[in-house]
Structure 1
Amino acid sequence: MTAEIVRPRKNVGAKGRQLSPEQAAAAAMVAEARQRGLALTGPDGLLKLFTKNVLETALNEEMTEHLGHEKNQADNGRVSTNVRNGRRSKTVVSDAAGEVSIDVPRDREGTFEPKIVRRRQRRLGEVDEMVLSLYAKGLTTGEISAHFAEIYGASISKETVSRITDKVVAEMTEWSSRPLDVVYVAVFIDAIVVKVRDGQVANRPVYAAIGVTVDGRKDVLGLWAGTGGEGAKFWMSVLVDLKNRGVSDVFFLVCDGLKGLPGVVEAVWPQTIVQTCIIHLIRNTFRLTSRRDSDAIKKDIKPIYTAPNADAALAALDDLEENWGTQYRAMIRLWRNAWNEFIPFSTTTSRSAR
């Protein structure tokens, strides 16, 4: 599979949807990528690189404040002879990113005392939410600076906080505008709620787009800060951003409950198949049912998402409705409403769930 793949228009109609051979192969790759893990957070998540970049940027600026000069820019007439003296590796633990390996700068005299990650400190504090916020488009420089001020308190000067903010904003801008691949097997879009600080603390969703490339690699394509009431206009700006950075085609876009997104996908990438994230669908299923019935329902929904084809999946859904439809109408409605976006990963379909 290459970026020059030309796919036939997907066949969508009353009789359902037939995946092309390329789409079926892409679906298999997506399933494999899911098994290997596509989380942004967690021990194997994609947040590690962001955390490493932010911490190392902050530590280097702390060293600049400590020495009084940038790297390789010491004044020959200065009184102190203290200069940078390489780096040492350190592993810290983050609640969201797991273990993160960072390089901590050293000075020749050994007097540098890092603040954002102190000596002998292993577990990070509130850095996780800050890192996600920093890389999300839509935050102001003031909000980013407020995050660092919250972390540092009075331990470093406002000028250093400002320099750290400027460096991180520059890196964030470069990262968020970098060119992307022409074709992605799948793009997963999900939301993470983080605390944003700017005078007051507020919970805001940060939307992550994680792509699976044609050779199976995972990449965070971008992060966007929302307000919680996102609609078609917001999603159009997100997808146009991705398209302007080079993404001309996506086989599958996987999301859940993001209002206005499926319609925008059709406008930006007409050939893309939108699929509901099965993890969210299962999670929402149990929110609509009693805990005492969880084990029985878990047993009854498994044949749906493990079915070998769409007909078998629909038969399993019919069985679920027969067993639980009277008691949990909302659960059945959830599955049937999501069916057209849930079923594309099955290789064939000949019946409608409605």
Structure 2
Amino acid sequence: MTQLNLTVNLEDLKDQLMNAELDSVLKSSLILILNQVMEQERDDHLNASWYERTEGRSDYRNGYYERDFLISIGKIKLKVPRTRSGKFSTSVFEKYQRIDQAFVLSMMEMVVNGVSSRNVTKIIEQLCGESVSKSLVSNITKNLDPVVNEWANRPLNVMYYKYLFVDAMYIKVREHQRVVSKAVYIAMGINDQNKREIIGLRVDHSESKASWTKFFDMLKSRGLQSPKMIISDAHEGLKKAIQGSFIGASWQRCTFHFKRNIYDSMPKKNSSDAKHLLLRIFDAATPEEARVLKNVFIETYESQKAYQKAISILDDGFEDAIQYMNEPYSYHQKLRTTNNLERLNSEIRRRERVIRIFPNTQSAFRLIGAVLMDHDKALDSGNRKYLY
């Protein structure tokens, strides 16, 4: 419970502070929260609250020491609890160090490369408390890049990933004095233990069959075996790359995007009954039941001109959109969409919005990789599974 409170409070405060002046009142609020979290961590470690006498006590309190903590909203001074044995260690510093270091580094590079706005420059001065030099950026990069690269290139042949989610999002990167759009390719797998892992990251040019094929080749070079099913949207280049790279794997078209395409082609008014029938199709337990409901939909609306396009879209993409129904029924809801990656993309976008334009591709890879590493650790931790 302590860790959950830390995540919610810290992330909410980051959002507020990155869009506000870093005044002492707001910093003080963050200090109070983090100090309270560390205090609770020590209580949990001791198995005893203040002045509580219990046979389960594992250690005793031994005051505090002060420590400076530099995170993406600035430098703060925290009171770190101690115990007599010295065995207690808080998770506050370790949990946010890598991701905030990447965030600060990417923003500093903007200043170094002369591409940041006046407002970003002010933030950097507040973050670091001094002018930024290229050597400082270089030193941080040397420490962070190997960690992100090792994670992004780790072997994948130690585990079989039976389901694979893939998606791409777009960012802006400065390249040869021009601002260009780059695609960020991300892959998430579900392994034999029914747990999720982020297994792929690549920053490349816009989506195409060739670019997606290079991404899949990279995954296979690290040992990825052909999965049982791949879930994605219906981008033509992606579809062709999947067919060529993973022969024998079924392709599940994201039903969220598919249904939205059908909805958009329906009449704006008086279509609630048709939408309800469409939902029933994808809530079916078996492919056979879904096909019966699909035929009912077509027979009901084929005489109405306003529904001709919707029927055509449904008919063309139907079989690709019900592949999840061949898997255990309890898996259906989690295998039929790419919502997993949509939430992950929004986490990346939250930080990318502050940076706006990355100074180079490596800076983008570094920050996004650090975000994904942090998110990957939180996925299905302990005995928790994604699929049951």
**Normalising by structure 2, what TM-score?**
0.50
Which amino acid letter does the alignment assign opposite residue 191 of structure 2? T
Name the structure 2 match of 1:280: 257
Q: Secondary structure at the match of 1:209?
A: strand
What do residues 148-185 of structure 1 show as CA deviations (whole Å, max 9, x unaligned)?
A: 98565345413323333443332221111001144212
Name the structure 2 match of 1:341: 320
- Displacement of 1:259 in angstroms is 1.8
Candidates 195, 201, 204, aligned match of 1:223: 201
Which amino acid letter does the alignment assign opposite residue 218 of structure 1? R
Candidates 310, 315, 325, aligned match of 2:292: 315
Q: Does structure 1 residue 191 correspond to structure 2 residue 191? A: no
What do residues 174-202 of structure 1 show as CA deviations (whole Å, max 9, x unaligned)?
A: 11100114421200112334444566665
Counterpart contact for 1:147–1:196, Cα < 8 Å: no
What do residues 240-270 of structure 1 show as CA deviations (whole Å, max 9, x unaligned)?
A: 1111111122000111122233333333322
Counterpart contact for 1:252–1:275, Cα < 8 Å: yes
What do residues 66-113 of structure 1 show as CA deviations (whole Å, max 9, x unaligned)?
A: xxxxxxxxxxxxxxxxxxxxxx7798xxxxxxxxxxxxxxxx775x47
What do residues 94-140 of structure 1 show as CA deviations (whole Å, max 9, x unaligned)?
A: xxxxxxxxxxxxxx775x4735233679xxxxxxxxx7xx89xxxxx
Counterpart contact for 2:171–2:181, Cα < 8 Å: yes
Task: Please give the alpha-carbon distance, in whole angstroms, between the structure 1 residues aligned to 2:150 and 2:168.
Answer: 22
- Displacement of 1:234 in angstroms is 1.1
After superposition, where does 1:200-349 map in structure 2 within 5 Å? 204-228=182-206, 230-293=207-270, 295-325=272-302, 326-347=305-326
Gaps (5+ residues) in structure 1?
A: 1-43, 56-87, 92-107, 122-130, 136-140, 349-354
Q: Does structure 1 residue 160 correspond to structure 2 residue 151? A: no
Gaps (5+ residues) in structure 2?
A: 15-33, 38-64, 78-98, 328-388
Task: Please give the alpha-carbon distance, in whole angstroms, between the structure 2 residues aligned to 1:147 and 1:204.
Answer: 21
Larger helix share, 1 or 2: 2
Task: Please give the alpha-carbon distance, in whole angstroms, between the structure 2 residues aligned to 1:120 and 1:317.
Answer: 60
Task: Please give the alpha-carbon distance, in whole angstroms, between the structure 2 residues aligned to 1:338 and 1:267.
Answer: 19
Which amino acid letter does the alignment assign opposite residue 335 of structure 1? L
How high is the sequence identity, in percent, across the aligned residues?
Answer: 20
Counterpart contact for 2:205–2:211, Cα < 8 Å: no
Q: Secondary structure at the match of 1:208?
A: strand
Q: Secondary structure at the match of 2:306?
A: coil
Q: Secondary structure at the match of 1:206?
A: strand
Counterpart contact for 1:309–1:347, Cα < 8 Å: yes
Which amino acid letter does the alignment assign opposite residue 206 of structure 1? V
Q: Secondary structure at the match of 1:328?
A: helix
Which amino acid letter does the alignment assign opposite residue 322 of structure 2? I
What do residues 27-75 of structure 1 show as CA deviations (whole Å, max 9, x unaligned)?
A: xxxxxxxxxxxxxxxxx9xxx9xx99xx9xxxxxxxxxxxxxxxxxxxx
Q: Secondary structure at the match of 1:327?
A: helix
Counterpart contact for 1:145–1:165, Cα < 8 Å: no
- The change in CA–CA distance for 1:287 and 1:168 in structure 2 (over 3 A counts) is farther
**Normalising by structure 1, what TM-score?**
0.54
Q: Secondary structure at the match of 1:170?
A: helix
